[in-house]
A and B are shown apart, each in its own frame.
With several copies, the nearest count.
Chain A
Amino acid sequence: MTLATDLAGIRLPTPVLAASGTFGRGTEYAGLTDVEGLGGIISKAVTLRPCAGNPPPRLWETPCGLLNSVGLQNRGVEAFLREDLPELLSWGVPVIVNLAGFSREDYLETARVLRRAEGLSGIELNISCPNVKRGGLQFGAEPRVAAGLVAAVREVIDLPLLVKLSPNVPALGEMAAAVAEAGADGLSLVNTFPAMAVDIRTWRPRLGAVTGGLSGPALRPLAVRAVWEAYKAVDLPILACGGVSSWEDAVEMLLVGARAVAVGTALFREPRTPLMIAQGLKEYLLSKGLANVGQLVGKVLA
């Protein structure tokens, strides 16, 4: 029995990763969990140039969920390669870079810079960030547009390419198919959902950026359904995330078609969540006499 698995050509020691934007460089959690025990780390979004991100407040808690409007705060791809990547790589687990942009050229230029990076395991192409006015989500709404971008990035870079989709489209299957056709090696599902909250005392939005993205257990049922739709539509490996907080949640995602899961919001409450999930998966596989998580993928009786 092994937890090791392959995701779109990326060899993962366990199928439980840290989700983009939630794990920093790993260093931050070093005293709180064994970063070396992760299946992989997905970086915060990296853009071509430094980006200050959105004005505070950037967080608001909702029933079983979290709104964030961090935006694409990062110091740009050059600083990322220089300062963050070495630290990310120091943990000895696969590192996937979340690649974002405000225009097609942005994405491509950043991808070209990333080509120089050594040690990177893959790219997660972020076309689904609800927290930026331009770019991001606009590429994730229309299958044709998304496919165009994916194809262009594909030409620039050889690394395994996951495409992170917005769940907020009526025909997710079509989107998945378009992206697969364009050369994606895998899908990443889901990003946060566009959401909003208002302070009824001040009549002002809870978030400085007015709207933000919903994550956490509240949206898990939407994420499960999104993964299932994508799984039925295309023959690509899927990295699932959205409210995954326990090994049971992870098994649920595997059953509807995920090959691996990423944990975001749950880390904030319990930094050891990914390790606890991996342990739970191990015991589950053993108890079922299964050899690997692949034997669970898409096995929902539906």
Chain B
Amino acid sequence: MRLRAVVEEVRGCGDAALLRVGAPEIAASAAPGQFVHIICGEDSPRVLRRPYSVFSVEGGTLGILLKVTGAGSRWLACRRPGDPLDILGPLGRGYASAAAGEEVALVAGGTGIAPLHFLAVELRREGVGCRLFWGMESASDFGHLPHRLGDLADTRLATMDGTLGAAGTVLDLLGDSGLDGVARAYACGPSAMLKPLHRLCEEAGIPLQVSVEERMACGVGACQGCAVPVVDDPPGYRMACRDGPVFPSVELDWERIE
């Protein structure tokens, strides 16, 4: 569950970076949708680890796709091969799989591609047909990554500025027919994307699993910091780190999610 891992490679890809981390124990048991919890800077003002989805597993190597959004991710993006990394994982509950032969939709917003990439690899292996919809701000966000996804799935891209694929959001991309014939859907992205997607899937009667982002402290379910509103009776909270980060979208109380 915990590891002194080693950075093997850091590849800039546009405004993001792809880290390859040697962490055999974690790699061996990680499932799509699970995350790792990383110390980003020993001698830093940061008291918390940073949660990152597993982007890929190849042999004993974990892939992590990260966007620099603050000091912690900047630190991470500046690692060099050979640097040690303190990682906990795999943590949380990932996506439930699909049946072989099914056609499923994967809907990603920005770095939300990370867990869905891993999921697509696994689903493909299991003979599930994947339609991948990915929206981002601009073509430059993730370097060549979008082009390489073609091998993995039936991939459709959208950018807000129209520099790659369709112009608009990933929901525009889905349009009226994107989910036609889809048995189930998987998503990861900002809640501004997940919310309407939830409605769309509900209307279409397609079961949807979403991975949510909530700020985390412990990452293991002990501090109750990463509360996600659920429609339980009475309405309460689940913990993103332990009960999620993947939830069936019908269990979440979207009214109380911003």
Contact = CB atoms under 8 A, between A and B. Distances in A.
Interface of A: 21-24, 28-29, 31-32, 44, 52-53, 55-61, 63-66, 68, 70, 73, 216-217, 265-269, 271
Interface of B: 1-2, 39, 45-49, 88, 214-229, 234-237, 242, 256
Contact of A56 (B45, B88, B229, B242): B229
B47 A58 contact: no
Given A28-B222, A70-B223, A65 B47 contact: yes
A56 B217 CA distance: 13
A61 to B, nearest CB: 5
B220 A32 contact: yes
Contacts of B2: 31-32, 271
Contacts of B227: 53, 55-56, 58, 70, 73
A66 B217 contact: yes
A58 B222 contact: no
Contacts of A21: 223-224
B234 A267 contact: no
A56 B214 contact: yes
Nearest to B234: A52
Chain B contact residues, majority secondary structure: loop
Chain A contact residues, majority secondary structure: loop
Which among A59, A70, A265 has the greatest number of chain B C-beta atoms within 10 A? Answer: A59
Contacts of A268: 47-49, 217-219, 223
Given A52-B236, A52-B237, A73-B237, A61 B48 contact: yes
Nearest to A207: B215
A29 B222 contact: yes
A209 B237 CA distance: 15
A59 B226 contact: yes
A44 B223 CA distance: 9
Nearest to A64: B45
Contacts of A70: 223-225, 227
Contact of A28 (B220, B226, B236, B237): B220
A28 B217 contact: no
A29 B214 CA distance: 20
Which among A44, A70, A216 has the greatest number of chain B C-beta atoms within 10 A? Answer: A70
A269 B226 contact: no
